[in-house]
Structure formats: C-alpha cells, structure tokens
Amino acid sequence: MREAAQVELSVEEDGAAVWLRVLGGEGELFGARLEGPELDDLIRALADGRARLADAVAPELDEGARITDVTVDPAYLVGKNSDKGQALVAFRHPGLGWLGFQLRRDVVAAMVDRLGSWLGED
C-alpha cells in the first residue's frame, strides 16, 4: 500500500506567492512557487478533480451540520442569464475567488421564501 502524500503550504513574507511542497516517504516529491494566477489555476484543477471522484461531495447538508469555513458578509452579484432565463448569483470567497451559481426560478422563489421567513423571526 502506498503511503499518503503530505502537502505543505507556506506564504512568502511579502505575500507575493506561496510555496507548495508535496512530501512522500522519501522526502519532497514536488515543490513549486506559485503566484496568485497560478494558484487560482491549481485550485480550479483540484476542484474539478474532486468533482469527478466517485466519492462525491454530499448532495445535501445534514440537518444540524456545522459549517466551519464561513465567509462573513461576502461581496456578491445577482444577475440574470438571459440565454437560460435563470438567475445568476455569485459570491466572493477570499481564497476561492468568485463562485457562481445559476438558479432556476423555483429555486430562487424557495430561497426568497426561506430568507423572508428568517427575517420575520426577529
């Protein structure tokens, strides 16, 4: 059985780039200095690979689950995909960038209803 690789990441003191090191049983397997755009490309490639795994991300969040990676009051954009007649909602994550979601009208209506109920709880 192959030993799992360990990943180390460090940010340069001036914040210009990160150093990525992949370590295995015999030391460093891979190392690279990545600036913002290169790191963005790697993150997208990793997310694409994760989306293709047989061990999929859970399609629904368990009731009472705690979300620990929270971005407080992110910048957002709400628009319309005129080709599809659907809403476009995007949120800015400080590490992942702009994450866009295309939503059908019934999904938007359900979200508005749920958020409206939450606002009425005061």
For residue range 33-65, what is the model confidence (pLDDT) as tens digits? 999 999 999 999 999 999 999 999 888 888 888
Q: What is the mean pLDDT of residues 8-13?
A: 96
Question: Domain residues for 110?
Answer: 76-119
Sign of CA pseudo-dihedral 35, 40, 43, 49:
negative
Asked if residue 10 belongs to a domain, the reply is yes
Mean confidence (pLDDT) of the chain: 91
Total count of domains within the chain: 2
Q: What is the pLDDT of residue 2?
A: 67
Report, in this order, helix, strand and coil percent for the chain, each rounded to 5.
Answer: 25, 35, 40
Asked if residue 110 belongs to a domain, the reply is yes
What is the signed CA dihedral for 82, 94, 7, 101, rounded to 10 degrees? Answer: -20
Q: What is the mean pLDDT of residues 9-29?
A: 94
Asked if residue 19 belongs to a domain, the reply is yes
Asked if residue 59 belongs to a domain, the reply is no
Asked if residue 97 belongs to a domain, the reply is yes
